[in-house]
Amino acid sequence: MTTPPLVELDPTSGLTHRETPRAAGLLRRFARHRLALVGLALLVGLVLFCYLGPLLYVTDQVHTDLGAARLAPGSAGHPLGTDDLGYDTLGRLMVAGQVSLLIGVVAGLIATALGALWGAVAGYVGGWLDLVLMRVVDAGVAIPALFLLLVAATLVTPNTWVLALVIGGVSWLVPARLMRAETVTLRERDYVRALRVVGGGRARAVFRHILPNAIGTVVVAATFQIADAILLVAYVSFLGLGLQPPATDWGGMLSKGITYTYDSSWWLILPPGIAIVLVVCAFNFVGDGLRDAFEVRGRDR
Amino acid sequence: MSATSDNEPVLRVDGLSVDFRTSSGPVTAVSGVSFAVREREIVAVVGESGSGKSTTAMAVLQLLAPNAHVSGGIQLLGRDVLALRGEQLRRVRGKDAAMIFQEPMTALNPLHTIGAQLVEAMRNHATPQERRSRDFRAEAVRLLHRVGIPEPERRLRQYPHQLSGGQRQRVVIAVALSCRPRLIIADEPTTALDVTVQAGILDLLRDIRDTDGTAVLLITHNMGVVADIADRVLVMRHGELVEQAGTERLFAAPSHDYTRALLAAVPKLGDRDRATDSGVDGDTKASEVDTGNASSEPDTGAAPAALELTDVVVSYATGRGTGLRALDRVSLRLAPGEMLGLVGESGSGKSTLGQCALGLITPDAGEVRVFGTPLRRARGRAGRALRGQLGVVFQDPASSLDPRMTVAQCVAEPLLVHRVRDRAERARRVAELLDAVELGSAVHHRFPHELSGGQRQRVSLARALVLRPKLLVADEPTSALDVSVQATVLDVLTRLHRELGFACLFISHDLAVVDAVCDRVAVMRAGRIIEDGPRRDILTNAGQEYTRQLVMSSPVPDPVRQRRRRGDRAAGTTTGAAR
Amino acid sequence: MWRVVLRRLLLAAVVVFLVSLITFLLLHLLPGGPARGVLGPEATPQQIEQFNHDHGFDQPVHVQYWDYLTRLLRGDLGASYTLNSPVGTLLAQRLPRTLLLTVASTLLAILVALPLGVAQAVRRNSRFDYLATGLTFVLYATPVFFLSLLLIIVFTQLWPVFPAQAAQGESIGELLSQPRSLVLPVIAGAGATVAAFSRYARASVVDNLAEDYVRTARAKGTPERVILWRHVWRNSLTSVVAMLGYYVPVIFGGALVVESMFNYPGVGLLLWNAARTSDYPVLLGVVLVIAVATVVGSLLADLAQLLIDPRVRTAQSSRAKGAGRS
């Protein structure tokens, strides 16, 4: 059949007006999300506070000083007061923050990696393996994290890395479910089917197509997972299963402060509590922004 | 209630412009469009995607998203719609003008019964007294009866998912009719439907106009639909009105270049024969059987068939083996180099057949052979070699290419699967194929989202052919494209078929497209192939009643011919009913 | 449809079995066993050996598990090592109290979260929406024990209107007789749930407002109020109800913390004390009860969807339709 030349002749004429490279588009959509920017700013601030702070505001967080115990804020040299062992609260907030952030990030990443792999295998292979793997996830969700943490605490003495590992090992279930759902969708995309037609193998499908296209889901899951991991760290310390003194984290500071609930020593409770709320909020804001940025659906609505 | 004098149009649009405020600045969707729709008149707005035709329709009842900025004038029954807000606007919607939407699957609320949704439409515009005294249910039954739904009493109690697509669209029309509007705005009302169903819906709209005098503003991309039903046509492009004329005049003597190009790009059922028959119209059965293709006429002799399906059965796992079959003992043979059109309506099993041929679905019974080798036994090295003989183009340009790969990477992937290790060799083959599908070297390093739908489908075609396969399965390769783009893709496909000589299973619901590109046609219905033969025989002189009905229902973009065909169809159905 | 239900029931049973297996193995693979924890630091090696023999710890693990499982199937959860009482009796005492706490705080959460989420969706991207979003994020980020602590400080210290301790009673009636003592635990338990539910309700309503049938309803002149409640809300409810079912483990997790903060005599405190005294039967019993609650929650969520959504309810015909698409 013959047709007169029409719209499509010029190969560049069909370019959509969204010509910005992917990364730039991603950034632009992220930057439009106001809460995400707030979250990012908060995060940068908190990281600077925890890691640069101790360089500018030097305190002794190793030796106790019972003579200067539970000084109220504003006491000489202690703008946020001291705790029951004489540690400066502001300085302690910084070191504890390093631990909380580190454990949270590492645990969040472990949980995401483990879960993503588990879910991708279940989703892509399908069939019986899928059924079995996902029932294990169901069972894991049904067992209270508290129980698993208690068992872990009897098995090992907690240090920073052990805690990160344990918390990561307890919280990989949600990313596994997410990743499975994503894989099941991606598996039936036409470009994966086209690969199967010409005889392409599973490894190529998973590593060249499914994982790269699930990257958005994984990144977003990781962000939320870090937020949840930080909450879980605090929870673990609150249960008394946390780090050995003098090391501590925000949860540990808070649980010590609980002892003084009725003594109006508010400076032992509020600062670490607020720090936890801020950092968890920040990660959740960023995660929300990333989700909007990655999600193709309803991009400009 | 609104008194309009006889010469006052039902709808008058003056200098309508619509801008959408987006994060990347304002985008103009419609600019300076003026037209009028009179009583008892069916006005079609045609255009390709992005022409602003749907936006124009939505603007009439102010149904656009909140970020739309509308200017100009819209007079509905003499009232300025754009000045209406809130409750005033609500009273106009559905009462003075009603709408019919494209997607009957989603246009109705899945959680409410048909009856509830019909009654709600009437109650919306009833006075408090009426709400107490009127028997809405009885009226709903009458409405369903009016739009041709059998057993209306039972249907009222059913949910949308229990109705077929065509019936749902009839329900949507019943909702639109419920308050006796003076204008019906139909936004692509038949696009999601099969042709036989489409014919029924168009007949219904025409009947509503004839008996009630309702004006219809019909938005469509389908020139056949326009030729079938419209009195007057507006052609839109890039948000502007490029031409408006009476339907017959527009088709006979389009004045604008764009309209001419658009009309030329539409494949017309039967046109290929009209050209070769040198002006002899109609159903004179020519003696020549595609003499032009004699050289490439497949030899059905000793060589194994490119594709051979023998008694293939695919059943869907339904509760307790209800035995619903997507494919029911289907046998089909495709000779090397042959281009076979597989047609059928949605649910006929044609895509399932294509997936069986590709090995994406393993049949429950029967055998699929590709070049003599059973697909299910194709494993390991030999299996891969066999799969190198296969190529596929899918329907949806949005998901056919991996969004994270460049065009060149997409096309090169089959080469990597088949261990073509030499980089330069791969690059050469990719360039060769992209060149063959008429995409310049500029696209090599672009990502799929930077290409148009038509370009993406051509990349898919390049990827499918990069291994020089002997069998290509094209599953509705142009159904998601605009007609002008479709023409280019079909041109490329037919040229490459001629040059490379692969066998092609061309799956389509569009008889005109199949007529334009295929040698042989097989017709599917309810999981079976009911007819299979040379293109011309099937499309002009089918043995099966169903095939004839299918051909009759496909509207031809030519108002004069279409009117005659409609007459034939009406006659055909009466004789069919008599039998 | 009944096949679907049956299949779900079967899978739920498998999950409960898996939970019992995993928890049992985890506990019994711990080095040393419970003897030291139960008998105290002064126990002699003979006493420990006697204990291990009495409770079957000298048998191979698979024999122990088979024993445990067969007793479990007869409804026997074993007896506490330390509390002189069958685990079943302990749970029967404690579980109703925890249920009272969780049901009350979930109800409170729903009553606050759903209207908030819908209001946010209707006025999305308004200043009110941003404010509510910020607040719910803060609430979500507040650890339950920190929220409890703040409530205690504010409502028992600064403005002493509620007691900080829950009523200590044997029966539910005694708990209910002092409703004021329930206020703070219930609020603390509802906090994070309010945040999650309102976010979810908002997203669901926003999604449904963009659906085609909403446009159809608008085009036929349906008032916005009716569109919101009769059309959108009912559709959103399906997913919100599902969310509720899947949220059971989170709600229980919160209750465990709240109980220890307010000294509320529920299964959380029981679990906590059992862990400290290595009281394995109690530990296993509590975990199993929570697991069953979780599984039943998601089961109910699925069933509720079946009931709400006519597409699933009349699955037979729709399945046939779906299968027909090529």
Burial group, residue B137, by CB count within 10 angstroms (0-12, 13-18, 19+): middle
pLDDT for A269 beyond 80: yes
CA distance C84 to chain A (A): 22
pLDDT given for residue C298 in this prediction: 87
Burial group, residue B377, by CB count within 10 angstroms (0-12, 13-18, 19+): exposed
Nearest residue of A to residue C152 by CA position? A261
Whether B319 contacts chain C with CB within 8 A: yes
In a domain, A280, yes or no: yes
Residue B97 to residue B39: CA distance in whole angstroms: 12
pTM of the shown model: 0.83
Q: Cβ C323–B63 below 8 Å, yes or no?
A: no
User: Which residues of C are less than 8 Å from B178 in CB distance?
Assistant: 220
Position B572 confidence tier, pLDDT thresholds 50, 70, 90: low
Q: What total number of domains does chain A contain? A: 1
pLDDT for B401 beyond 80: yes
pLDDT given for residue B302 in this prediction: 62
Length of chain C in residues, anyone? 326
User: Which residues of B are less than 8 Å from C212 in CB distance?
Assistant: 101, 103, 106-107
pLDDT for A141 beyond 60: yes
CA distance C324 to chain B (A): 5
In a domain, A72, yes or no: no
Exposure b/e, A54-64, CB count within 10 A at least 16 = b: beeeebebeeb
**Across-strand partners of B37?**
B11
DSSP output for B389-404: TEEEE-S-TTTSS-TT
Whether residue A212 is preceded by a cis peptide bond, meaning omega within 30 degrees of 0, is no
Which strands form B11-22's sheet, in the order they lie side by side?
B25-37, B11-22, B68-76, B79-80
CA distance C165 to chain A (A): 13
Neighbours of A244 (CB within 10 A): 10
Q: Which stretches does DSSP call E strand in B53-148?
A: 68-76, 79-80, 97-100
Whether A227 contacts chain C with CB within 8 A: yes
Neighbours of B321 (CB within 10 A): 8
What is the distance of C-alpha C75 from the center of its chain?
A: 22
Mean pLDDT across B542-564: 87
pLDDT for A238 beyond 80: yes
Does A17 or B400 have the greater pLDDT score?
B400
As given in the structure block, the two tokens for residue B44 are: 């079609």
pLDDT given for residue B60 in this prediction: 92
Burial group, residue C8, by CB count within 10 angstroms (0-12, 13-18, 19+): middle
Mean pLDDT across B497-506: 93
Position B44 confidence tier, pLDDT thresholds 50, 70, 90: very high
pLDDT for A4 beyond 70: no
Nearest to A142 among C134, C275, C291 (CB): C291
pLDDT for C254 beyond 60: yes
Which pLDDT tens digit goes with each residue over B47-86?
888 888 999 999 999 998 888 899 998 989 988 988 888 8
Sign of the CA dihedral with B50 first, then B56, B61, and B65 last: positive
CB pairs under 8 A between A and C: 116
CATH topology of domain C90-325: MetI-like fold (1.10.3720)
Position A45 confidence tier, pLDDT thresholds 50, 70, 90: very high
With CA atoms as reference, report the closest residue to B50 among B32, B27, B26, B24: B27
pLDDT for A19 beyond 70: no
CA distance C294 to chain B (A): 28
Residue B426 to residue B420: CA distance in whole angstroms: 7
Cα angle vertex B409, ends B405, B410, to 5°? 75
Position B482 confidence tier, pLDDT thresholds 50, 70, 90: confident
Mutation site, C220, C232, C321, interface B, largest B CB count within 10 A = C220
As given in the structure block, the two tokens for residue B204 are: 């219904």
pLDDT for C131 beyond 70: yes
For chain A, the chains sharing at least 3 beta-carbon pairs closer than 8 angstroms are B, C
pLDDT for B560 beyond 60: yes
In a domain, A288, yes or no: yes
The DSSP symbol for B360 reads S
- Rounded percentage of chain B residues whose pLDDT exceeds 90: 38
**Contacting C residues, span 216-255, partner chain B, CB-CB under 8 Å:** 216-223, 226, 230-231, 234-235, 238
In a domain, A184, yes or no: yes
Residue B439 to residue B442: CA distance in whole angstroms: 8
In a domain, A9, yes or no: no
Distance set, CA B492 to CA A1, B470, C21, C48, C114 (Å): 10, 17, 62, 85, 56
CA distance C78 to chain A (A): 19
Please compute Rg for chain C using Cα positions: 24
Characterize the bridge pairing of strands B42-46 and B25-37.
unpaired
As given in the structure block, the two tokens for residue A145 are: 């994290």
pLDDT for B132 beyond 80: yes
Mean pLDDT across B526-532: 90
pLDDT given for residue C247 in this prediction: 85
- Rounded percentage of chain B residues whose pLDDT exceeds 70: 91
Nearest residue of C to residue B315 by CA position? C323
Identify the weakest region by mean pLDDT among A8-12, B5-9, B228-232. A8-12
User: Which residues of A are less than 8 Å from B517 in CB distance?
Assistant: 1
With CA atoms as reference, report the closest residue to B539 among B515, B519, B517: B515
Position B6 confidence tier, pLDDT thresholds 50, 70, 90: low
**Across-strand partners of B79?**
B76
Mean pLDDT across B1-9: 59
pLDDT for B470 beyond 70: yes
Identify the weakest region by mean pLDDT among A53-67, A84-98, B140-154, B264-278. B264-278
pLDDT for B507 beyond 90: yes
**B69 and B21 in contact (C-beta within 8 Å)?**
yes
Averaged pLDDT score across all residues of chain C: 84
Length of chain B in residues, anyone? 579
pLDDT given for residue B453 in this prediction: 87
In a domain, A25, yes or no: no
Mean pLDDT across C191-203: 88
**B454 and B437 in contact (C-beta within 8 Å)?**
no
CA distance A55 to chain C (A): 29
Q: Classify the complex by whether its ipTM is higher than 0.95, answering yes or no.
A: no
- Give span(s): CATH 1.10.3720.10, chain C: 90-325
Residue C136 to residue C115: CA distance in whole angstroms: 13
Nearest to A144 among C16, C27, C252 (CB): C252
Virtual torsion, Cα A196, A200, A204, A209, nearest 10 deg:
-40
Which pLDDT tens digit goes with each residue over A153-198?
777 778 888 889 889 988 899 899 989 988 988 988 999 999 999 8
Does C111 or C245 have the greater pLDDT score?
C111
User: Which residues of B are less than 8 Å from C219 in CB distance?
Assistant: 61, 63, 93-94, 98-99, 101
pLDDT given for residue B404 in this prediction: 87
Q: Cβ B400–A6 below 8 Å, yes or no?
A: no
Mutation site, C216, C225, C226, C316, interface B, largest B CB count within 10 A = C216
Phi-psi region of B279 (alpha: psi -120 to 50; beta: other; left: phi over 0): left
**B457 and B478 in contact (C-beta within 8 Å)?**
yes
pLDDT given for residue B18 in this prediction: 93
State residue C79 phi and psi, 5-degree precision: -120, 150
pLDDT given for residue A10 in this prediction: 31
pLDDT given for residue B162 in this prediction: 87
Whether C195 contacts chain A with CB within 8 A: no
In a domain, A119, yes or no: yes
Nearest residue of B to residue A185 by CA position? B399
Nearest residue of A to residue B486 by CA position? A8
CA distance B23 to chain A (A): 7
Residue B559 to residue A30: CA distance in whole angstroms: 52
Residue C18 to residue A135: CA distance in whole angstroms: 8
**B202 and B190 in contact (C-beta within 8 Å)?**
yes
In a domain, A144, yes or no: yes
User: Which residues of B are less than 8 Å from A218 in CB distance?
Assistant: none
Chain A residues with CB under 8 Å of a chain B CB are: 1-4, 6-9, 11-19, 22, 28, 32, 189-191, 193-201, 204, 208-209, 212-213, 300-301
pLDDT for C66 beyond 60: yes
pLDDT for B313 beyond 50: yes
As given in the structure block, the two tokens for residue C201 are: 């309700």
pLDDT given for residue B575 in this prediction: 41
Virtual torsion, Cα C205, C210, C212, C214, nearest 10 deg:
50
User: Which residues of B are less than 8 Å from C324 in CB distance?
Assistant: 324, 326, 346-347
CATH number for the domain spanning A162: value is 1.10.3720.10
pLDDT given for residue B479 in this prediction: 86
- Rounded percentage of chain C residues whose pLDDT exceeds 70: 94
Distance set, CA B20 to CA B14, B30, B64, B81, B574 (Å): 19, 10, 9, 19, 50
As given in the structure block, the two tokens for residue A263 are: 């003594």
Averaged pLDDT score across all residues of chain A: 81
Q: Cβ C223–B124 below 8 Å, yes or no?
A: yes
The DSSP symbol for B330 reads E
Mean pLDDT across A13-38: 63
pLDDT for B283 beyond 80: no
pLDDT given for residue B321 in this prediction: 44
The residue range of the domain holding A205 is 32-50+87-294
Q: With H, G, I as helix, E, B as strand and everything else as coil, classify residue B509.
A: coil
Whether C123 contacts chain B with CB within 8 A: no
State residue B543 phi and psi, 5-degree precision: -80, -30
Identify the weakest region by mean pLDDT among B133-147, B367-381, C170-184, C185-199. C170-184
Exposure b/e, B216-226, CB count within 10 A at least 16 = b: bbbbbbbbbbb
Residue A92 to residue B455: CA distance in whole angstroms: 61
Residue A54 to residue A51: CA distance in whole angstroms: 6
- Sketch out chain B's domains with CATH numbers: 11-96+181-264 (3.40.50.300), 107-168 (no CATH), 268-298+305-389+470-480+497-579 (3.40.50.300), 398-468 (no CATH)
pLDDT for A56 beyond 50: yes
Mutation site, B260, B390, B406, B452, interface A, largest A CB count within 10 A = B452
pLDDT for A300 beyond 60: no
